[in-house]
Every structure is written in structure tokens, then in C-alpha cells.
Amino acid sequence: MQQQSNINHIKSISQLVRVLGFPAPLHPLIALVDYNNVSIEMFPTGQKVSLDFYKISFKPTFTGHIKYGQGYYDFEEGGLAFLKPKQIVSPPEDIESYEGIALYFHPDFIRNYPLGKTINQYGFFSYDVSEALFLSAKEKEITANLFTTIANELANNIDSFSQDVLVSQIELLLNYSNRFYNRQFITRKAVNHYIIPSLDKLLDDYFEAENSLRNGLPSVTYISSELSLSQRYLSDVLRSLTGLNTQQYIQNAVIEKAKEKLSTTNLSVSEIAYKLGFEHSQSFSKLFKTKTNVSPLEFRNSFN
């Protein structure tokens, strides 16, 4: 591994399996690693890792708890976590975290397939590790079977159909993961509902402190950072709870704050736009009319 600024940059699947102490992979662009056969000494603590390929981790079982949002939840039924290329991760310190199996595949492996163009639509590759997919017993069984099928295919002699079959199996795994995440958003609504009041308070405090005067409109980056959630996960959770992504939710909050100022103050439209963080009042008026079907002045006049 090449080390720079305490980051181990692993460029190829072959380099990865060599570092882990395994023989060269049968295919240079894809490998399945059983971490039960990897020595903990292969992972020096304090060294971050950057991979040039995708990683899907499957933990059939797990002892203990995993942080999920602002709380900790049992992970006993097993789960999945996803990593896209170039993400920098810090290896965990406890040896139990290395349980399970990991599928690694290089972007070049899927580049000439439809999956190469659609993989960015699987938003969970942009989730934080703490936002892992928690599997039910039935989902764990389905996932284990998929990993077994991939392992069996990798164990076969490579032929002209191997890559087609493996890419199809990866896509099937991703589609099942989409389904399982949707179920998780639904079944964990009680857990996720803390996000709504936390987000509302964050936006209220932002406008009350007049942060918009200094920093402009609240951004998705700012909101997700303050809530300690990845941008993609926050957006997907909000969509499951409200039908809106994060940007749409922020815009609605801005409009509600604008309505309040239009109906209770004598501030001009330009002054309100400025206080809310808009550089140009025209942008504010356009957004307001898009969301309400009336202009800010028409809305104000409706109270007279």
C-alpha cells in the first residue's frame, strides 16, 4: 500500500488482496473477501484508507451495537454497508468490526454495462457507515444467498459469460438493497422522526439568528452536517417521511418564513428577500410564486 499523509491509497483489487495476505484474484477487477480469514494485524490502527473501487460489506451477525443517526441500535440480524470509490474511511479499532464478507469491484468492471451508468442512482453508496442497512432475518437470508451465488461464480473458471453473470448478480444485490432500505425507512419511522423536529428547530434558529444575512440561504451541506447525517441519507429519509428531498424541505421552510414576514411586518419584498439570504429579490419572488402560485405582493395584499 502507498502511504501519504497517513492515508493508504489502494488502487487495484490485486493490490488489496495482496495486502490482505490472499493469493491473486481470479479476476483482476472483482474479489470477495471473507474477513474471518484476515488477520487484524493487516489493519494498523490510525491509518485511513482510500479505495479506487466499490465495496459492499455484509455482516451476517454482529455482536454489540452500531451508531445509527443519533442513537445506537442492535445489529444482531446482520447488515450491509456500502462504499464508493475515493471515499476515505478510518478502520475501526475493535476486532469484531472485521466480521463478515466484503465484495470489491472496480468501476471498470461495470463500465461497459448499463449498471456503469446507473450505479450513481443507488444513493446508499453515499451514506455514512453509521447509516448502514439493518437486515431482518428474511433479508439476511436473501443477501447471504446472493453472496453465495457470487462466490460460486467467482470460483468457476472464467469464460466469456462470467462478467455478464457477475454484473447481473451485483445489480440484483443492489436492487434488493434498494428494497430493503425502503423497508428500513418505513419500519424505522419512529426512529427517524427525530429528524423532522431537529431540522425544523435548526432552520428556525438559523433565521432567528439572522445567519442568512451573513451566510445566505441554509444549504443542504450545512443542514446535513449539523444533523450529523450524510446528505444523501438525509434526503432519502425526508423523502420517505414527507415526500420532499432536503432542498425542497428547506425551500418550503423559507417560504413559510417569508409568509410570516409578509403578513406581520411592513418590510418591503426586497428587505424580506435580503433577510432570508437571497442575493436578488427577483430570485425570491420567483421561488415564492412557484411555491404559492401568487407573488409576494399578492400574498401580502390578500390580508388587506
Pair (241, 156) in one structural domain:
no
pLDDT value for 258: 94
pLDDT value for 17: 87
pLDDT value for 131: 79
pLDDT value for 298: 93
Domain end position, chosen among 187, 204, 234: 187
C-alpha 1/C-alpha 34 separation (Å) is 20
C-alpha 54/C-alpha 29 separation (Å) is 10
C-alpha 195/C-alpha 68 separation (Å) is 12
Pair (56, 174) in one structural domain:
yes
pLDDT value for 189: 62
Pair (58, 112) in one structural domain:
yes
8 A C-beta contact, residue 50 and residue 90: no
- C-alpha cell at position 220: 443542504
Number of domains, the chain: 2
C-alpha 151/C-alpha 26 separation (Å) is 11
Residue 52: name the closest of 102, 11, 93, 1 by CA: 11
Query: Which residue range forms the structural domain that includes residue 258?
Result: 193-301
pLDDT value for 251: 95
Residue 64 maps to which CATH number? 2.60.120
Question: Could you list the pLDDT tens digit for every one of the 304 residues in the chain?
Answer: 444 457 788 899 998 888 888 888 888 899 998 887 776 555 555 667 888 999 998 988 755 444 433 444 444 557 888 989 988 776 555 545 556 899 999 999 999 999 999 999 998 888 876 678 888 889 999 999 999 999 999 988 888 899 999 999 999 999 999 999 988 887 766 556 678 888 999 999 998 888 777 888 999 999 999 998 889 999 998 988 888 999 999 999 999 999 999 999 999 999 999 999 998 999 999 999 999 999 999 999 887 6
Pair (55, 174) in one structural domain:
yes
pLDDT value for 269: 94
Report which residue type is found at 54. Answer: Y
C-alpha 34/C-alpha 30 separation (Å) is 14
Residue 192: name the closest of 231, 144, 240, 263 by CA: 240
pLDDT value for 128: 76
Question: Rounded to two decimals, what is the model's pTM?
Answer: 0.72
